Chain A
């Protein structure tokens, strides 16, 4: 890891975050792509500096780049692609439904925060009132 590559990863994350905090699904996908690239830089350089490709017989083993972070980064690249594809199909679906790709606020959540009473509590309270009237007072 060098300062230059650390700075590059930091830039990718910063710009990706900026995009991620917007309402456009397209921009969110682009932001996610940038963050994915930043992560790959972090992964790759976590194994130390570069080296010769880790292929046995092509060069001396002591000159190899660390193969394990490469394997992890490879997995990450593919997974990022999967996520991107999924988000893009969501953007497409969103366009189908609303002719736009805005990530709107969740109305359900807003409604929940405005609800006054919960049905379970209503049950308890109703039964409690009944029971009090049952056992209250004496009979004789």
Chain B
């Protein structure tokens, strides 16, 4: 399995590196990775599905035998890559890799005239497919999170691939903003869940369900992550925006795979967590709102692709309702719906892409029906839409029947009846927008002009619609004979919840309540389709006052604008551009934050004086320092600084640090020489400038810093608690000779005990030297050619022309 992930990575990177050289063939190369994965999954089918009818001693199903694989990384803190391929992972893998292959083939037809940069999509899609498999296969919450974020990033790049289109940029930004912040919240949630469960392994969590006080916060965080990823209300605004991406991308990421990651996570965790805290309530409320709002908005779209996008939002809400209850019987309906939705929604997207590609529009008012060559497309559109609407004998009908049936039978928790009503209403809306889609394709909504545009449109070539054909065949065949997925869905359910007893998936379950509900849904939906004009009018008038409330796009724009305004205000007040201003803030913090608490420790003063030799030395240091501060001639200031330095050397000598004294002597001499070298050029006197910081404030801050240092020095010298005999220095002295082969302990510390530190010091010096040389030798501005000549002549006197004015001004 790890090898398969690597294959995705390698192929993806290879395509990206090849640039535009591959052209359309990039998609053929890209299809290799998912094709290999599908092949591998097929070989493992028998093993992971197993015999779902077999029961263990307690009467529970046994299910299949998952394939497991671990790649060690940091085993000490349980950070290894654990992969687990069970029957539910198989279901998701079928969606990710199966539809992946078909979409790649489809893309070859879609990008018949490939523009520069479009083959990049193939590489990104391969990388995405690998990341998505990572989510599905990961048996460790952290690995799952990493893969989760990788899908967000690849999705961002795929949406924004056309970087010259401002709409694509904005949509990509919105998607990464929403899913990215959801991802961060998810990380926090996963850590809380993992910590309270004592394990980050999903497979072990079933046996040790998490429990702790913080768990409900963790659950909410995990759900927020799942909701943002799966475009649940009110975080769904990015998904319709993402439709700006090319249709193969939308068909793959934004209907079949990535948006189901949130559903996947909820499905995995619901059996463990559904009865804990607010999990079930949150999932059911949000899922219900999403299913209804998505359906209502789909009904209002004129762009076929947007119609499908809102339809996807609605169906994702439906899936949340099925997986989030924690009732395993209902979850089985969700598994069937996952497969059904993958098949019909990808087909519909492909058809929209074909229409868009051949006709140049996907707007229902500009479509007027198609000529005879389009028969296959029309048939597929009707079948896929009928599956979406839940008409027998298609796969969509099977899943909807199962959902209604299981909800009727096993929905015995609080609010289950309300959720059932939501499902029925949502299904009616689904029927209505499915009808709208079909009527749109057939041109019933078309405005009465330019009819020939679509009637004369060239039918698509065979390769273009073959992938859709494959999925349509799946929809019909599996719908007629659900036995193909019966075992798969049973084992997948057992993989989710080992204590469950899954039931058979049937096309025809008899004249039960679910059947009559289905019939009712179809009847009401059909009436809505026939009376579509009145419905539309009603919806328009009813939604006017609600529009502001329901529009999450506005919320997003307002959020961005708000963040921007706050950032601007903060920048304006904090980043003034004045270096002394920044220093003032830093020093102010230094003085207040660490030093004020120290004041309470200031009870005893240490000895006033240790060594009488200090008195003359300190007198020179302080006197010269005051001099260096006050003098107005540059050279005098530098000489005063030098005096401080030499006095410091004396202090070191008195304190018993001859090495320091030597170094200080050498450095001070060198430093003074350097100063003089530079000062040759600068004006001799300081000129008063408008002060960067007003004088009283400067004085106050300087005095405060001095006082703070005094307090710090006194407190820290009395705060030492360990006995000097046990300090680390004692051991260094002891080991200097035997370990370091040196008598001078300071030298041994520098080159031996703290050798790495000295290495860093040398590096800093080297960097400073490189920088200094580069600054000193870089050329001047080109308009200063005269001065350039002067300096090129070497150590000449400073150019009179440049220094005179400033000297004059200073005197």
A residues at B contact (CB < 8 Å): 1-24, 26-27, 29-31, 33-34, 37-38, 40-42, 44-58, 61, 64-68, 70-71, 73-75, 77-79, 81-86, 88-93, 95-97, 99-103, 105-110, 112-113, 115, 118, 120-121, 123-128, 130-132, 134-135, 137-140
Contact = CB atoms under 8 A, between A and B. Distances in A.
Interface stretch (B140-148, B206-214, B391-399, B745-753): B745-753
A10 to B, nearest CB: 4
B757 A75 contact: yes
A6 B754 CA distance: 27
Pick the most buried of B174, B580, B703, B746: most chain A CB atoms within 10 A of its CB.
B746
Interface of B: 166-167, 169-171, 173-174, 240-241, 297, 300-303, 306, 364-365, 445, 532-533, 536-537, 539-540, 553-554, 556-557, 560-561, 564, 568, 571-572, 575-580, 583-584, 587, 605-611, 614-615, 618, 621-622, 625-626, 628-629, 634, 637-638, 641, 644-645, 648, 651-652, 654-660, 663-664, 667, 670-671, 674-675, 677-679, 681-683, 686, 689, 691-693, 698-699, 701-703, 705-707, 709-710, 712-714, 716-717, 720, 724, 727-729, 732-734, 736-737, 743-746, 749-750, 754, 757-758, 761, 764-765, 768-769, 771-773, 775-776, 778, 780-781, 784, 787, 791, 802-803, 806
Contact of B772 (A88, A131, A135): A88
Contact of B167 (A67, A83, A130, A132): A130
B572 A93 contact: no
Contact of B717 (A45, A65, A105): A45
Contacts of A78: 663, 667, 761, 765
Contact of A61 (B169, B583, B587, B733): B733
A30 B641 contact: yes
Interface of B is mostly: helix
Contacts of B716: 1, 42, 46
B625 A96 contact: no
B691 A23 contact: yes
Given A21-B580, A44-B657, A46-B717, A37 B686 contact: no
B532 A140 contact: yes
28 contacts: A3-B607, A8-B622, A14-B707, A17-B587, A23-B692, A42-B716, A50-B611, A50-B655, A58-B743, A61-B733, A64-B656, A67-B729, A67-B745, A68-B727, A73-B660, A77-B667, A82-B764, A89-B678, A92-B678, A96-B780, A106-B579, A109-B576, A110-B577, A123-B166, A124-B174, A128-B170, A130-B167, A139-B364
Nearest to B760: A75
Contacts of A23: 580, 689, 691-692
A113 B535 CA distance: 51
Nearest to A31: B629
B306 A47 contact: no
Contact of B732 (A6, A8, A67, A112): A67
Nearest to B613: A50
Contact of B241 (A9, A93, A99, A131): A131
B644 A70 contact: no
Nearest to A73: B660
Given A21-B693, A86-B768, A113-B575, A135 B733 contact: no
A26 B561 CA distance: 44
B622 A11 contact: yes
Nearest to A42: B713
A22 B628 contact: no
Given A26-B682, A82-B768, A123-B173, A48 B724 contact: yes
A131 B701 CA distance: 55
A17 B706 contact: yes
B538 to A, nearest CB: 10
Contacts of B579: 103, 105-106
Pick the most buried of B300, B736, B775: most chain A CB atoms within 10 A of its CB.
B775
B469 to A, nearest CB: 31
A45 B702 contact: no
Contact of A9 (B709, B733, B761, B806): B709
Given A21-B583, A77-B664, A95 B686 contact: no
A139 B445 contact: yes
A73 B754 CA distance: 13
B717 A67 contact: no
B743 A138 contact: no
B745 A10 contact: no
Contacts of A113: 568, 571-572, 575-577
B445 A102 contact: no
A107 to B, nearest CB: 7
Contacts of B754: 71
Given A1-B717, A33-B644, A113-B571, A140 B536 contact: yes
Contact of B706 (A13, A20, A45, A123): A13
Given A4-B608, A123-B173, A131-B241, A10 B776 contact: no
Given A109-B575, A127-B167, A10 B580 contact: no
A49 to B, nearest CB: 5
Nearest to A62: B725
Contacts of B615: 4
A93 B709 CA distance: 34
Contacts of A105: 576-579
Contacts of A53: 656-659
Contacts of A48: 720, 724
A1 B682 contact: no
Contacts of A96: 780-781, 784, 787, 791
Contacts of B806: 99-100
A100 B687 CA distance: 10
Nearest to A120: B173
Contact of B533 (A58, A68, A140): A140
Given A82-B764, A121-B564, A131-B553, A14 B705 contact: yes
